[in-house]
Amino acid sequence: MRAEAYDTDALRAQFPILRRTVGEAGAPLVYLDNTATSQTPGCVVQAIVDGYTRTKANVHRGVHTLSQEATDAMEATRRRVQRFIGAESHEEIIFTRGTTEAINLVAASYCSLLQPGDEILVTVMEHHSNIVPWQLAAERYGLKVKAVPLNDDLSTLDLDAYASLLGPRTRVVAFTAVSNVLGTVNPVRRMVDMAHAAGAVVLVDAAQAVAHERVDVRAWDADFLAFSSHKMYGPTGVGVLYGRRGLLDRMPPYQGGGEMIAHVDIESSTWADLPFKFEAGTPDFVGIAAFHKAIDWMESTGIEAIAAHEESLLLRAESELATLPGVRIFGRAPGKCAIISFLMGTEASAYDIGMLLDQMGIAVRTGHHCAQPLMRALGVSGVARASFAAYNTPAEVDAFIAALRRIHKIFRLG
């Protein structure tokens, strides 16, 4: 879809939830919490309905028609994801419950191959899901976790510090492609190259990137990549771990049970080939099949067109928000993603802002956004965050700003 042909009304018609009203006054829903989870188009919802009403049977285990159809649909999605992120093989695509589980898998499994005293390098802008799993692995295996700080602009990573922290014991580097608070788009390939030069493997958290930019694991040269369906117009409870085959082959299973075994004796077992070695138990095969439709929807709409539309909304919102005295915007990196984190004065807490906006029909996220180390670096306990998606409109941005002007007056900030 060409940017000039972008038809927001036609897109919105595909999202039934956007016709909702909220609050006692029955205000039209303005959904600006897309960084947490995006809404789902009707084609994906219908795929879920079809999965439960036409082809629900356990995958990979049955010879009957329903099982074969469900298996084919799930494996078609695996190949669709492979093409979407540019992986070399569909066997490098592991289905998980989300980004969090994907990172936990790598932290628990790959880190078991490391030696006490080895180091894991993260950054201060990470979501807790890309910090805590490494801490658990460090405690279990005697490793050390270090973090890359921000520059003085409090928007970008200090790459000089990053270079100095990459040492002879650095074995894993894990960082986000896009900050879920600041919107900062990190220089992924540059950071990957620096890590590889130091002998480390790299996990890229792409949860905030995949819905807003083209992601190519081979162009990035990432060793691992993690993301979630629900942030890219797909079902909840479905995630992806990409792993370089040579690494996945070396790693022990993350969980034990059905599907991930080749042979079981009471004394010992052997493991299935990739990707099934890491997919114990019955997966959400209905959600996985529907995820295929979400990827198709994104690409038919045009990822570049979506990104351009979101950028126009971001610029509109930031320019208006900047005119309100006492408003602080966090995250000023050039080329940032369509996320605005902000506070109004000192009296209006993020929670108060979120509650008042909700009464006016506007959904934003408030709090620390599962990024407490970043909040401490910013010198705040929490912020309000508005984030944009394919279906948001300039009129919704204007409604958001008008609501903030009312809140501004309530708190007598100017």
Chain centroid to Cα 409, Å, comes to: 35
Q: Is the pLDDT of residue 371 over 50?
A: yes
Which two three-digit tokens encode residue 346? Answer: 């000192």
Give the residue carrying structure tokens 């979630």. Answer: 228
370: annotated active-site residue:
yes
Quote the pTM value.
0.96
Lowest mean pLDDT among 5-9, 223-227, 309-313, 399-403: 5-9
How high is the pLDDT of residue 3? 42
Closest CA to 2 of 306, 354, 267, 257: 306
Q: Which of left, alpha, beta for 221 (phi over 0: left; psi -120 to 50: alpha)?
A: left
Give me the amino acid identity at 379.
G
DSSP 328-391: EEE---TT--SEEEEEETTTB-HHHHHHHHHHTTEE-EEE-TT-HHHHHHHT-S-EEEEE--TT
Per-residue pLDDT tens digits for 83-138: 999 999 999 999 999 999 999 999 999 999 999 999 999 999 999 999 999 999 99
The arithmetic mean of pLDDT across residues 237-241, rounded, is 98
The arithmetic mean of pLDDT across residues 334-351, rounded, is 90
Question: What is the DSSP code (8-state) at residue 182?
Answer: T
Share of the chain above pLDDT 90, in %: 92
Per-residue pLDDT tens digits for 133-154: 999 999 999 999 999 999 999 9
Q: Is the pLDDT of residue 205 over 80?
A: yes
Give me the amino acid identity at 327.
V
Model confidence at 347, in pLDDT bands (50, 70, 90)? low
How high is the pLDDT of residue 61? 83
Per-residue pLDDT tens digits for 294-335: 999 999 999 999 999 999 999 999 999 999 998 999 999 999
Q: How many CA atoms lie within 13 A of 264 on its CB side?
A: 7
The domains located in the chain, with CATH, are 3-38+302-410 (3.90.1150.10), 45-299 (3.40.640.10)
Model confidence at 4, in pLDDT bands (50, 70, 90)? low
For residue 243, list its beta bridge partners. Answer: 224
Q: Is the pLDDT of residue 414 over 60?
A: no
Contacts for 121 with CB less than 8 Å, ≥ 6 apart: 145, 146, 147, 148, 162, 165, 166, 170, 172, 173, 174, 195, 200
Burial of 329 (0-12, 13-18, 19+ CB in 10 A): middle
Q: Is the pLDDT of residue 196 over 90?
A: yes
What average pLDDT is seen over the chain?
Answer: 96
How high is the pLDDT of residue 1? 39
Catalytic residue among 43, 111, 337, 370: 370
CA dist list (Å): 49 to 91, 210, 340: 28, 25, 35
Model confidence at 243, in pLDDT bands (50, 70, 90)? very high
Q: Is the pLDDT of residue 161 over 80?
A: yes
